[in-house]
Structure 1
Amino acid sequence: MSKLKLYQNIEFDHLRTLQDPLADQLVSVLVKNPELITQINSWVEIPDEIEASYPAAFQHFFNFYLKQNEFPEEILAQGQKIFDQKGDLYLAMLGFYSLPYAYAFGDGAEVLVRSKRILNDIGRRLGETGTFILDIFEPGAFLTKKKAYLTCAKVRLIHAFSRYFISKYAHDWNDSFGKPINQEDLIGTNLSFSLIVIRGWKKMGFSVSSHEVSVIMLYWKWVGRLMGIQEKYWPDNPKEAFALEKLIRRRHVKSTTAGHQLIQALIAYYKSSIPDPLISGQVVPILNFFLGKEVSQALNIQSSIPVNGELLGLVFKFSGWKAYGTAKGYTQIARQNESNQKALYGDKLEIKLPELNRS
Structure 2
Amino acid sequence: MSKLKLYQNIEFDHLRTLQDPLADQLVKVLVKYPELITQVNSWAEIPNEIEDSYPPAFQAFFNFYLEQKELPEEILAQGQRLFDQKGDLYLAMLGFYSLPYAYAFGDGAEVLVRSKRILNDIGRRLGETGTFILDIFEPGAFLTKKKAFLTCAKVRLIHAFSRYFISHYSYDWNEAFGKPINQEDLIGTNLSFSLIVIRGWKKMGFNVSSEEVSLIMQYWKWVGRLMGIQEKYWPDNPKEAFALEKLIRKRHLKSTTAGHLLIQALISYYKSSIADPLISSQVEPILYFFLGKEAAKALNIQSSIPINGELLGLVFKFSGWKTYGSVKGYAQIARQNESNQIALFGEKLEIKLPRLNRS
Same fold by TM-score greater than 0.5: yes
1:346 aligns with 2:341: no
- Partner residue of 1:295? 295
Residues in 1 aligned to 2:59 and 2:96: alpha-carbon distance in whole angstroms = 39
Residues in 2 aligned to 1:126 and 1:327: alpha-carbon distance in whole angstroms = 24
- For the residue of structure 2 that corresponds to 1:31, the secondary structure is helix
Give the RMSD, CA atoms, in angstroms: 0.3
| Alignment map for 1:110-189 (pairs within 5 Å) | 110-189=110-189
- For the residue of structure 1 that corresponds to 2:49, the secondary structure is coil
- Partner residue of 1:230? 230
- For the residue of structure 2 that corresponds to 1:334, the secondary structure is helix
- For the residue of structure 1 that corresponds to 2:44, the secondary structure is coil
- Partner residue of 1:202? 202
- Partner residue of 2:100? 100
Residues in 2 aligned to 1:306 and 1:171: alpha-carbon distance in whole angstroms = 43
Q: CA deviation at 1:254?
A: 0.2
Residues in 2 aligned to 1:36 and 1:351: alpha-carbon distance in whole angstroms = 16
Q: Which amino acid aligns with 2:40?
A: I
Q: 1:15-73 CA deviation, whole Å, 9 max, x = no partner?
A: 00000000000000000000000000000000000000000000000000000000100
Residues in 2 aligned to 1:331 and 1:120: alpha-carbon distance in whole angstroms = 30
- Partner residue of 2:336? 336
- Partner residue of 1:241? 241
- 5+ residue gaps, structure 2: none
- Partner residue of 2:52? 52
TM-score, normalised by the number of residues in structure 2: 1.00
- Partner residue of 1:286? 286
Q: 1:307-354 CA deviation, whole Å, 9 max, x = no partner?
A: 000000000000000000011100000000000000111110000000
Q: 1:99-156 CA deviation, whole Å, 9 max, x = no partner?
A: 0000000000000000000000000000000000000000000000000000000000
- Partner residue of 1:91? 91
Q: 1:252-296 CA deviation, whole Å, 9 max, x = no partner?
A: 000000000000000000000000000000000000000000000
Task: Give the number of equivalent residue pairs.
Answer: 359
- Percent of pairs identical after alignment? 88
TM-score, normalised by the number of residues in structure 1: 1.00
Q: 1:147-178 CA deviation, whole Å, 9 max, x = no partner?
A: 00000000000000000000000000000000
Residues in 2 aligned to 1:358 and 1:320: alpha-carbon distance in whole angstroms = 45
Residues in 2 aligned to 1:55 and 1:184: alpha-carbon distance in whole angstroms = 29
- Partner residue of 1:266? 266
- Partner residue of 2:311? 311
Residues in 2 aligned to 1:213 and 1:326: alpha-carbon distance in whole angstroms = 26
| Alignment map for 1:25-104 (pairs within 5 Å) | 25-104=25-104
Runs of 4+ in 1 over 6 A off after TM superposition: none
Q: Which amino acid aligns with 1:271?
A: K
- Partner residue of 1:190? 190
Q: Which amino acid aligns with 1:261?
A: L
Residues in 2 aligned to 1:176 and 1:345: alpha-carbon distance in whole angstroms = 38
- For the residue of structure 1 that corresponds to 2:32, the secondary structure is coil
Q: Which amino acid aligns with 1:185?
A: D
| Alignment map for 1:252-263 (pairs within 5 Å) | 252-263=252-263
